[in-house]
Amino acid sequence: MPRRTIGTLACLLAFRVLASPNVILVMADDMGWAQTGYYDHPVLETPNLDAMAANGLRMDRFYSAAPQCSTARATVLTGRTNDRTGVATVGSSINKQEKTLSAAFRNAGYTTAHFGKWHLNTVNTPDHPMPLSDPHHPGELGFDYWLSETNQFNLDPLFSRNGTAERIEGESSEVLVDEALAFIEQAQGKPAFVLIWYASPHRPFEALDADMAAFEELPEASRVHHGEIVAMDRSIGTLRQGLRDLGVAENTLVWFTSDNGGLPTFDVTRASTGEVLPGVVPDTTGHLRGFKNSFYEGGIRVPGIIEWPGHLEPRISNFPASTLDMFPTLIEVAGLDSNDMNEVHDGISLVPVFDTEPPRRNQPIGLRVQGQLGWLDNDYKLIYYRDYDKAMVDGVWDPEVFDSLTREWELYDLVDDPSEQDNLVEREPEITARMKAELAAWNESVDRSAEGADYPEGRVLPSGRDKPE
Ligand SMILES: [Ca+2]
């Protein structure tokens, strides 16, 4: 081969390496916004998340675009609000007609893998975490490799490895990171797109004794819950060190977040089973109002960090951003084909935020779950909402009381009033009217998507493995 051709190839190869970084999306499950050392949590230390935040883009106004597990995960994988995708509520599955982030990476030559909690499938059998007969397992949505469980796991987790049940000894967050690092090491020169979706610190809680040692003063459930975060944080340290050891840290973007806000401080009794779910103390959301399932900030604002050594200067951002932005951002970061993203989508690329603080976000963040609506536009958030927590009756969450609540319009200035104590709907009629109109137009667009208007067939095909007619 002529020397010049070799040189050109080397250049092309170097560009290719730079243009196709590994991408690892790491997501905690039910970790509240305030549950990090870098926000000065009163009892919890998270040295590895703190180091990642100090070495990356720490986003202090990062949102999950839905306040619960399945709906939030749908926004990550499609770049669209959950109701466009078929994921109306917890346990729903993504329509097969959706264009997914994993498929976009695979089409661009990446090897793709999912590790951990999935919760976008419908079959959940007691003896198998996710059989191949499940038509919505990760392999059906663009993942080459998967070690997954429908929902919860803790110590010595039972996973489905590409459809085969396998129990693995160890703490679950550490198991997931070890497996993900092994996958990246074995990628054989291909760039890797990897999801690490922890089941921590979600209920049921289970932690190693050593990880709970610092929390002896806390009630039992809170002690174990925090112990799960300690293990998860340690696994993040293992991940960061592992990438350095493999020599790929500077060619790997790692994006950490949580799927929804923190757990309530009060006990909740499940009306259906009578099971008491103990509250978690200290407070999981800091000064933010509400918890998981809520459209208040405590339900949706979550930790957000992007680390990409050598490509992204460490800084702290207050730019409002969400899980809907992951798909457009990664198209730009990894040079994916924009035709591999659904044309109607809800986020924006955050690449400009990597090194500057844009004065405004031009695309508001829409929220829509089970008839409740939200429109987050820079400083303001408008919600049409009934407060989940108002359905607590003598410590028991009552679905009948919840159904009887009427939805109300609420407007908050999130900068002046981050705890959302002062409803401005009456005092700011112009802002309210403008945001209501924008929200109404967006809501109609989501209705059209939900009916299948964005798909080539013009309708939603039956789910499962059904092929277009
Ligand atoms: Ca969750």
CATH code (residue 409): 3.30.1120.10
Q: How far is the CA of 154 from the centre of ligand 1 (A)?
A: 14
Give the separation between CA 465 and CA 469, rounded to whole angstroms. Answer: 12
Of residues 168 and 18, which shows the higher confidence score?
168
Please report, for the domain that includes residue 163, its CATH number: 3.40.720.10
Distance 202 CA to ligand 1 centre (A): 7
Position 255 in a domain:
yes
Same domain, residue pair 306 and 421: no
pLDDT at 4: 46
Is residue 84 over pLDDT 80? Answer: yes
Mean pLDDT taken over the chain: 93
Q: What is the pTM of this model?
A: 0.94
pLDDT > 50? residue 1 = no
Distances (CA, A) of 50 to 39, 56, 103, 304, 313: 9, 10, 32, 11, 16
Q: Are 382 and 267 in a shared domain?
A: no
Q: What residue has token string 């202090």? A: 60
CA of 65 to the centre of ligand 1 (A): 12
Comparing 19 with 81, the larger pLDDT belongs to: 81
Give the tens place of pLDDT for each residue, 370-383. 999 999 999 999 99
Of the candidates 354, 373, 399, which is a domain's last residue? 354
- The reply to whether 401 and 335 lie within a common domain is no
> Are 128 and 255 part of one and the same domain?
yes
How much of the chain, in percent, has pLDDT values that exceed 70? 94
465: Cα separation from own chain's centroid? 26
Query: Which pLDDT does position 276 carry in this prediction?
Result: 87
Are 80 and 36 within one domain? yes
Q: Based on the fold, state whether residues 231 and 314 are members of the same structural domain.
A: yes
Share in percent of the chain as helix, strand, coil (round to 5): 35, 20, 45
Count of CB atoms situated within 10 Å of the CB of 241: 13
- Among residues 298, 330, 354, the one where a domain terminates is 354
Per-residue pLDDT at 216 exceeds 60: yes
Cβ(407)–Cβ(394) below 8 Å = no
Contact 400, 378 (CB under 8 A): no
My answer on whether 375 and 335 are in the same domain is no
Confidence band of 157 (pLDDT split at 50, 70, 90): very high
How many A from CA of 155 to the centre of ligand 1? 18
Centre of ligand 1 to C-alpha 398, Å, is 21
Confidence of residue 19 (pLDDT cuts 50, 70, 90): low
CA dist 312 and 309 (Å) reads: 6
**pLDDT the model gives residue 329:** 98
Q: How far is the CA of 110 from the centre of ligand 1 (A)?
A: 28
Ligand 1 mean position to 30 CA, how many Å?
A: 4
CA of 262 to the centre of ligand 1 (A): 9
pLDDT at 323 over 80: yes
What separation in Å is there between the alpha carbon of 249 and the centre of ligand 1? 28
Residue 93 within any structural domain of the chain? yes
Indicate whether 115 belongs to any domain. Answer: yes
Residue 384 pLDDT level (bands cut at 50, 70, 90)? very high
| Nearest Cα residue to 118 out of 99, 144, 86, 91 | 91
Reported as a pLDDT band with limits 50, 70 and 90, residue 462 is confident
Indicate whether 13 pLDDT > 70.
no
Question: How far, in Å, is the centroid of ligand 1 from the Cα of 199?
Answer: 8
Residues 344 and 372 in one domain: no
Give, rounded to a whole angstrom, the gap between the first and last alpha carbons of the chain: 51
Domain that holds residue 160: 20-354
User: Which 3 state secondary structure label does DSSP give 296?
Assistant: coil
Same domain for 265 and 388? Answer: no
288: amino acid identity, one letter: L
- Mean pLDDT along residues 396-408: 85
CA of 401 relative to ligand 1 center, distance in Å: 23
Name the pLDDT band for 465 (thresholds 50, 70, 90): low
Which residue type sits at 434? R
When divided into structural domains, the chain yields a total of 2
Among the ranges given (7-21, 43-57, 142-156, 350-364), the one the predictor scored with the smallest mean pLDDT:
7-21
Q: In this structure, are 401 and 372 located in the same domain? A: yes
For residue 371, how far is its CA from the centre of ligand 1 (angstroms)? 20
Instruction: Compute the distance from residue 72 Cα to the ligand 1 centre, in Å.
Output: 8
**Ligand 1 ion local residues (Cβ < 5 A):** 29-30, 69, 259-260
Whether residue 10 lies inside any domain: the answer is no
- Do residues 41 and 35 make contact, with C-beta atoms less than 8 angstroms apart? yes
For strand 392-393 and strand 268-269, is the pairing parallel, antiparallel, or unpaired? unpaired
- Band (398; pLDDT cuts 50, 70, 90): confident
In a shared domain, residues 326 and 391: no
DSSP codes of every residue in 148-164: EESS---SS-EEEETTE
At residue 7, the pLDDT reads 45
375 inside domain = yes
Q: Phi first, then psi: what are they for 14, rounded to 5°?
A: -60, -45
Q: Does 12 fall in a domain?
A: no
| 360 falls within a domain | no
pLDDT mean over 402-417: 94
Q: How far apart are CA 105 and CA 310, in angstroms?
A: 22
Contact 357, 229 (CB under 8 A): no
pLDDT of 189: 86
Question: 402 falls in which pLDDT band (50, 70, 90)?
Answer: confident
Q: What is the pLDDT of residue 269?
A: 79
- Over the stretch 158-182, which tens digit does the pLDDT of each residue have? 999 999 999 999 999 999 999 999 9
Q: What is the mean pLDDT of residues 415-421?
A: 97
The CA 69 to ligand 1 mean position distance, Å, reads 4
Q: Are 404 and 324 part of one and the same domain?
A: no
What is the CB neighbour count within 10 angstroms for residue 2?
A: 7
Q: Is residue 465 part of a domain?
A: no
Pick the range with the lowest mean pLDDT from 238-242, 267-271, 302-306, 345-349: 267-271
Q: What are phi and psi of 393, to 5 degrees?
A: -120, 115
- Cα 29 to middle of ligand 1, angstroms: 4
Question: How far does the centroid of ligand 1 lie from the alpha carbon of residue 82, in Å?
Answer: 15
Q: How far apart are the CA of 136 and the centre of ligand 1, in A?
A: 19
CA distances from residue 398 to 266, 370, 376 in whole angstroms, order as listed: 14, 17, 29
